[in-house]
A and B are shown apart, each in its own frame.
Chain A
Amino acid sequence: MADGGPDGSPPVRARGLVKRYKEVLAVDHVDLNVESGDVYGFLGPNGAGKTTTLRMALGLIVPTEGKVELFGRDPMREGARALEGVAGFVEAPRFYSYLPARKNLELLAALDGDGASSRIDEVLEIVELTPRAKHKVGGFSHGMRQRLGIAAALLRRPRLLILDEPATGLDPAGMRDMRTLIRQLADDGITVLLSSHQLPEVQELCDRVAIVDSGRVVYEGALSELRRQGGAGYRMRTTEDERALPIVRAQAGVDGVASGEHGIGFEADEASVGELTVALGRAGIGVLSLTPELATLEDLFFRLTDDKGVSPETEPPPRELVEAS
């Protein structure tokens, strides 16, 4: 498990964070609580304010209001000291295109101090860039730059890794590898704050999430709790669906009953489901299958962000928000 700050402060704590660009409110009173050991998903559509929030967390931009602390330290007040044990990148990681990958890492290691230069070979190996270490970054693909970004972050031996859309722009294999790496880093005790608009990525990696929409956090907490709040649904197939339907509807504790070609869907707690199966048996109706169906993250995401009827991965963001965030 990752450590907290010297006084047990959490890796990230944001309170009332606001960023305004003239007329555009990019971040609207955001509170975040990333605990040690979390793989924390910061989820929202493009232009929702995720990147702007992460920039404030890393001290790159000045909050209009509120503050963010990393292990109890405010980057705006304590500068580089607040970033001790913290690494990551916002948007795509950027490097000096005229320098080879290794030279880029040497430069960043020099700016890290604390023996970071001795870890260059190790981190290049981790992201499988050793064979390309002497090649100029200008010739690197997007995926290779993302991997170099992870390598640059690992140089700092972080306790908190902040990654902004790390899998964006990668091919399916690259996305899979990136997720595997993040999972492994988390397993090794690194707290991860991961922004994404890719729901499968968050669902696969994260245990706690904040969902942000139009600059505001609309949910923060455990992913499992979010899915539980989404309601416990069931789908059931019987020997006689037509006769079973009124019995299901009449059963106490059962709601949202709907019938279709894949059987009868409904929401209920476990006790009510048990009573329902007994009632069906008494009526001479056999239960062929009874499958629990938890709400998907996508369902919940759209519910929380006022379903705009488009995928969060494809929605074109408002231009002013993209520029702002």
Chain B
Amino acid sequence: MSSVAAAPAAPAAVHPARRPSTFTVYRWELRKLVSQKRTYLGFGLAVILPLIFVIVELVRNQPAHGDTIFAQEILQSGLATPVLMLTFLVGFFLPLIASLVAGDIVANEDSNGTLKTILTRSVDRGQVFAAKTAAAFTYAVVATYLAGAVGTIGGVAAWGFHGLRTLSDTYVSAPKALLLVFAAHTFFLIPLIAVASIGVLLSTVTRNSAAAIVGTIGVTIVLAIISAIPGLEGLHPYLLTQQYFAWQGLLRTPTDWAPITHSAWVCALYAVPALIAAYLVFLRRDVAGG
């Protein structure tokens, strides 16, 4: 180093430094996500699955199998495709995509040692936790809308921009159907955020990305198994996996808000304690990894 010749930065004067905002930390969390190849694995799934569906149905040129009204509508309106795809994706793929980043977001930095790098700067642990959690949620949101957008564009390109029959067997115009498609994806985000919250908790506690991702999916699988066990029907309204389909209340006429409001508070029962626990662990944990 020819540092001998160079003048190092002079020590700062004693004055309160202007500290960065949590939004700045969040912005950099997103930039880190964008810079990592594995980020695109989940996005790839969100794009490819609807595309495969559209291509297969185009080739088959018959109404899709299934007992939902949207399966029967597939050839009548391109807007049936994103709704049908949402039905397929909510059970496994979208929770998987959400957990890919949520389970990784703290544990990866802990094991690589970069967590200690950022925790010795001018940001508090609470800011870092909030930014990481928000970034994990953002990823889940983007993946969900991406799947919806690809399904919508693919469906409309293949079968046209037409009105849609609802679950109540009423007909809505194409623009309203498009709005409902968007709303359906939006309300599915409620349970998905709860899944991501569990992912953030496991990521914080386990310090191991693989364990956190598998653990998050494991939790949803266990809940799904519980919902299939006879005799436990009383638990169904409180299982997270049962909230995955609450958005279907939007596709009734008139709109059935009951499952949506129920889903909101049940999901909060999963998300809020998970986030509080993760926050408390993150605040007091020893950071010695890497």
Contacts and interface: CB of A to CB of B under 8 A. Distances in A.
B11 A159 contact: yes
Contacts of A216: none
Given A60-B116, A97-B112, 6 more contacts: A60-B287, A80-B121, A84-B16, A96-B114, A98-B36, A123-B9
Interface stretch (B24-32, B69-77, B85-93, B172-180): B24-32
B286 interface: yes
B253 interface: no
B4 interface: yes
B6 to A, nearest CB: 5
Interface of B: 1-4, 6-14, 16-20, 24-25, 27-28, 31-32, 35-37, 112-114, 116-127, 284, 286-288, 290
10 contacts: A60-B116, A80-B19, A110-B27, A111-B118, A111-B122, A112-B20, A128-B2, A156-B12, A185-B8, A188-B11
B113 A108 contact: no
A178 B1 contact: yes
Nearest to B36: A98
B11 A114 contact: no
A184 B4 contact: yes
A84 to B, nearest CB: 5
B122 A114 contact: yes
Nearest to A119: B9
Given A62-B286, A80-B123, A128 B11 contact: no
A33 B84 CA distance: 67
Interface SS, B side: loop
A128 B121 CA distance: 23
A3 interface: yes
Contact of A89 (B7, B35, B117, B288): B117
A25 interface: no
Contacts of B25: 110-111
A188 B7 CA distance: 9
A133 interface: no
A32 B116 CA distance: 22
A158 B120 contact: no
B138 to A, nearest CB: 17
A87 interface: yes
B121 A181 contact: no
Given A96-B114, A177-B1, A112 B121 contact: yes
Residue from B12, B13, B114, B286 having most chain A Cβ neighbours under 10 A = B12
A5 B1 CA distance: 31
Contact of B122 (A84, A89, A125): A84
A246 interface: no
Contact of B113 (A3, A91, A107, A159): A91
Contacts of B10: 157, 188-189
Interface string A1-34: 0110110000000000000000000000000000
Interface string A27-65: 000000000000000000000000000010011111000
B116 A125 contact: no
Contacts of A126: 1, 3, 6, 8-9
Contact of A61 (B7, B9, B120, B288): B288
A190 interface: yes
Interface string A156-176: 111100000000000000000
Nearest to B119: A60
Interface in A65-87: 79-81, 83-87
A261 to B, nearest CB: 42
Contacts of B18: 113-114
A110 B37 CA distance: 23
Nearest to B287: A60
A99 interface: yes
Given A61-B287, A107-B31, A80 B122 contact: yes
B120 A88 contact: yes
A85 B11 contact: yes
B8 to A, nearest CB: 5
A217 interface: no
Contacts of B17: 84, 112-114
A228 interface: no
Contact of B121 (A85, A111, A123): A111
Given A62-B286, A89-B117, A113-B122, A177 B3 contact: yes
A142 interface: no
B192 to A, nearest CB: 26
A114 B19 CA distance: 7
